[in-house]
Amino acid sequence: MTELLLGQVLHFTADPFEQGLTAACLDEALVIEGGRIIAVGPADALRRQHPQARVTDYGRALISAGFVDAHVHYPQTAIIASWGKRLIDWLNSYTFPEEMRFSNLRYAQAVANRYFDLTVSNGTTSVCSYCTIHPESVDAFFTAAATRNQRVWAGKTCMDRNAPEGLRDTPQSAYDDSKALLGKWHAQGRASYVITPRFSPTSTPEQLHALGTLWREHPDCLMQTHLSEQTDEIAWVKDLFPQSRDYLDTYEAQGLLREGAIYGHAIHLTPREKARLKEAGASLIHCPTSNTFIGSGLFDMGGLKAAGQRIGLATDTGGGSSFSMLRTMAAAYEVGQLAGRALHPAELWWLATQGSARALHADHQIGNIAPGMEADLVVVDLASTAAIEQATRRAADIWQALFPTIMMGDDRAIRATWVAGACVHGQQIGA
Ligand SMILES: [Zn+2]
């Protein structure tokens, strides 16, 4: 079945941080065949060229690449919006007790399915998730994603110290379990396995080394972990690794820094760390709702982008306070304002789609609308509430029309979500 979608089709030809608004384009229609986008352009011409196509007319709604959430913890779905802790207390009070439950495959399956239902209804088509220490949690995640045919990344979270009994593995079992799960899930359909030490405070140098060895043996995998989220965390790392030059060095020394490394947060970086991250081609993932919710600090988007760092955007659920990438863009705007750089709507939208896809080394597959790309799409109603509708009435261009939805929109703005060329949520209307 060939599908022709009509609407305001937003896509990018470059990074708007580098090229400004010329990087963004608006078209009228796109054509999908075999799960991929085959054409983008004027409505009349595409209707003529594809007379057999089934037409869905979304009117004035925006059609974009689906959102790509580059750092999440799906096992924390049920503890989102828990009150009043900073990072280490948060882990001990909320995260670890909840993660214990994922040794039970049925529980893990129930949460994984709920997580995908919530994110798809928010227009998110791809995520990169931490699981728990239990292989069951990884199986549950990838099985739920495969059922939905979604492009996803995930890995078993490894911890061999400073975590409760029942949530600790060892250097050897972390290596063995990760290797087995990688063999089972990596490059199966749209799934990719990610080697996943939680962070240096919960891994011994021996465990980090074992995972560095595994990464060297499987260089096409990504590796994800956390870096410099809070100042007391950084002080703790200094105590735990007295030989290391800085936080990044605890990973670098064990073979966990190169292109394909994905570091969540990266707020309080030293000049040496910034230089090495850039040189290595690593990815930094900005998690603004989490950074304000847990009180971590202000990510320097302006400075880091100007320096040429590879940056994606993410919710960090459940440390982040929303499943919505719209809410996450709004928080990125607010953090940017506090840090002295007002991000343009085009920059915010790019970060939530192509920026995150690029951070995950998948921008040739997802995160944009262009011939050859996988047809993962979100259709956004730009007048989803009375408050938003009245604010957009006098909009002179697409960015003025879009910004109130970025700042005030939620899942009510998501008119439809398409995954691999199929409408999986919301409306598909004939025309
Ligand atoms: Zn995280």
**What is the pTM for the complete model shown?**
0.98
Q: Smallest Cα–Cα separation from 68: which of 326, 323, 354, 335?
A: 354
**Does residue 99 surpass a pLDDT of 90?**
yes
Lowest average pLDDT, out of 91-100, 193-202, 327-336, goes to: 91-100
pLDDT of 428 > 80? The answer is no
pLDDT tens by residue, 77-98: 999 999 887 888 888 999 999 9
Structure tokens at 247: 């936080």
Of 56, 3, 45, residue with least CA distance to 431? 56
Q: Would the pLDDT of 266 be above 80?
A: yes
Task: Using alpha carbons only, give the angle 347, 350, 353 rounded to the nearest 5 degrees.
Answer: 155
Angle at 400 between CA 395 and CA 403, to 5 degrees: 135
Distance 287 CA to ligand 1 centre (A): 8
Residue type, 177: D
The set of residues, in sequence order, having a beta carbon less than 8 Å from that of 173 and lying 6+ positions away, is none
Look at residues 258, 155, 251 and name the one whose alpha carbon lies nearest to residue 205. 251
Query: Distance from the CA of 197 to the center of ligand 1, in angstroms?
Result: 11
pLDDT category, 430, cuts 50, 70, 90? low
Task: Please tell me the predicted confidence (pLDDT) of residue 154.
Answer: 98
| Cis amide bond preceding 372, omega within 30 | no
Find the mean pLDDT for residues 399-413. Answer: 98
Share the mean pLDDT of the chain.
Answer: 97
Ligand 1 centroid, distance to 427 Cα (angstroms): 33
Dist CA 358 CA 364 (whole Å): 8
- Residue 131 CA to ligand 1 centre (angstroms): 11
CA–CA dist 196, 408 (Å, integer): 34
* Average pLDDT of the residues in 92-110: 96
pLDDT at 280 over 80: yes
Coil/strand/helix, residue 9: strand
Whole-number pLDDT of residue 256:
98
| Mean pLDDT, rounded, for 232-261 | 97
How many residues are there in the chain? 431
Nearest Cα to 205, choosing from 155, 259, 262, 160?
Answer: 160
| Residue 125 in this model has a pLDDT that exceeds 60 | yes
Token code pair at residue 4 = 């022709």
Q: Determine the average pLDDT of the residues in 252-281.
A: 98
Q: H helices then E strands: how many in the chain? A: 18, 16
User: Ligand 1 centre and the CA of 232: distance in Å?
Assistant: 16
Residue 325 has pLDDT above 60, yes or no: yes
pLDDT of residue 187: 97
For range 342-369, the mean pLDDT:
98
The dihedrals phi and psi of 404, each to the nearest 5 degrees, come to -60, -35
- Give the pLDDT score at 107: 98
Average pLDDT over every residue of 318-330:
96
Cα(128)–Cα(135) distance, integer angstroms: 17
The torsion angles phi and psi of 34, rounded to 5 degrees, stand at 60, 35
Here the tokens at position 153 are 């990344």
Q: Give me ligand 1 centre to Cα 187, in Å.
A: 23
Centre of ligand 1 to C-alpha 188, Å, is 25
For the segment 261-288, the average pLDDT, to the nearest whole number, is: 98
Mean pLDDT of 352-378: 98
CA of 225 to the centre of ligand 1 (A): 8
Task: Answer yes or no: are the C-beta atoms of 349 and 329 closer than 8 Å.
Answer: yes
From residue 325, how far is each of 122, 316, 396 by CA, in Å?
7, 11, 24
Closest Cα partner for 214 from 261, 168, 174, 270?
Answer: 174
How many whole angstroms from 167 Cα to the centroid of ligand 1? Answer: 16
**How many angstroms does the Cα of residue 21 sit away from the middle of ligand 1?**
32
Q: What is the mean pLDDT of residues 88-113?
A: 95
Backbone angles phi, psi at 378, to 5 degrees: -125, 140
Q: Is the pLDDT of residue 303 over 90?
A: yes
* Half-sphere CA count of 51, side-chain side, radius 13 A: 1
Provide CB contacts within 8 A for 352, sequence distance 6+.
Answer: 67, 68, 313, 325, 328, 329
User: Which runs of E-coded beta strand occur in 145-299?
Assistant: 152-155, 157-158, 191-197, 222-227, 261-265, 283-286
Dihedral sign for Cα atoms in the order 143, 144, 146, 150: negative
CB 65 within 8 A of CB 378: yes
d(CA 204, CA 170): 9
Q: Round to whole Å and give the CA distance between 426 and 196.
A: 34
Q: Cα angle vertex 306, ends 301, 308, to 5°?
A: 100
Ligand 1 centroid to 76 CA: how many Å?
A: 10
Expressed in angstroms, the distance from the first to the final Cα of the chain is 16
Give the type of residue at 57: D
Residue 431 has pLDDT above 80, yes or no: no
> Measured on CA atoms in the order 198, 199, 203, 209, is the torsion positive or negative?
positive
